Amino acid sequence: MINQFRNLNPINLLILFAYTFIMRMALFADLPATLQFEFLEPYAKFLIQMPLQDTFSPEGNVFIAGVIVYIQAILFNRVVNNHGLLNKSGFLPALLFITSASLFMPFMILSPTLICNFLLIWIMDKFLKIGKSQNAVMVMFDIGMIIAIGTLIYFPFIVMLTMLWFSLLLYRSFNWREWISGLVGFLIIFFFVAVYYYWNDHLLVFYKIWVPLANKFPSTFKINYNDYLVLIPVLLIMVLAALQLRENFFRSFISTRKAFQMLFIMFIICIIGFYTKPDFRLYHFLLCVPPGSVMLAYYFSNAKKRWFYESLFLAFVFAIQYFLFV
């Protein structure tokens, strides 16, 4: 299957669409009576009054989520290929994106993080263009505004602000305009939010929006390890990808090396951002799928022994289906 997706064959688009819903068989086989979906954070609902949580049946919820993941996979595949992150253009990034987005049942239903992944893929594309721009002021300004929009949808998306400065450190020499332009773009969106609260005499509510940022990072975690055994194949592939990347690191273009460093930082930031959400849910880690999928695709793009990498991918898929059904 990996060999099939190493090439830009148009038939792969149809296979990917079918594969997206095959990976969701377990959820269709045992759908809950209701599936709730909140599109915006409570503090942002004055912008759009849409009772989406009551709009879709469980079947419609899962189907639409599947279509969204498929569209995101194609967009993500285009970004990875356009920036030459793999040694050959193909549909491997889309394949690994869809597979990673099927790891857990909360990943496969409509959620704020699923919507935010559109913005995250857009941000990735813009970050990867920074090194090629003569002046990154407007690019950073746009990214700041995108992060603000994502924060209105899902508050932990605000941690992406740190990526503004990590990316500048990687790609650019110091320019104070570039360092503040992203923050200005972010603040412009929330300036209008603040004005709305001021007009309605609710400035205290606006202050409470930012309280979660002061949350202490948890020192202990309650984890049911049986729920996360499906991550074993992911960790194995990640380790193999890291070894492959280390072997090729200094033989790659400088832009490619910086891109993988940026994506690794993004992956870590997406993980630790959960602490900003008091009612944290597992679907938060769906934000890790775009940067993580690049690493997975990198391994399968460079792997040499066909019997091994094909078997490893099949084991990965079977592990996901086993734990979804069981």
Task: Read off the pLDDT of residues 255-313 as tens digits, 9 standing for 90 and up.
Answer: 778 888 899 999 999 988 888 877 778 888 899 999 999 999 988 888 888 888 899 88
Q: Which amino acid is at 279?
A: D
Q: What is the pLDDT of residue 115?
A: 92
Q: Is residue 231 within 8 Å of residue 103, measured between CB atoms?
A: yes
Phi, psi at 85, each rounded to 5°:
-75, -20
Q: What is the pLDDT of residue 226?
A: 65
Query: What are the extents of the domains in the chain?
Result: 2-114+122-131+226-325
Contacts 24+ apart (CB under 8 A), 32-39: 32/58, 33/58, 34/58, 35/61, 35/62, 35/109, 35/110, 37/61, 37/109, 37/110, 37/111, 38/112, 39/112, 39/115, 39/153
Q: What is the pLDDT of residue 120?
A: 95
Q: What is the pLDDT of residue 58?
A: 79
Q: How does pLDDT run across 73-104, given as a tens digit for each residue?
A: 999 999 999 988 888 888 999 999 999 999 98
Q: Which residues of the chain have pLDDT under 50?
A: none
Give 88's DSSP letter: S
What is the Cβ-side half-sphere exposure of residue 87, based on CA atoms within 13 angstroms? 13
* Model pTM score: 0.91
What sections of the chain are H helices per DSSP?
2-5, 11-22, 25-29, 58-82, 92-100, 112-129, 137-153, 161-171, 176-199, 203-208, 231-248, 254-272, 289-302, 306-325
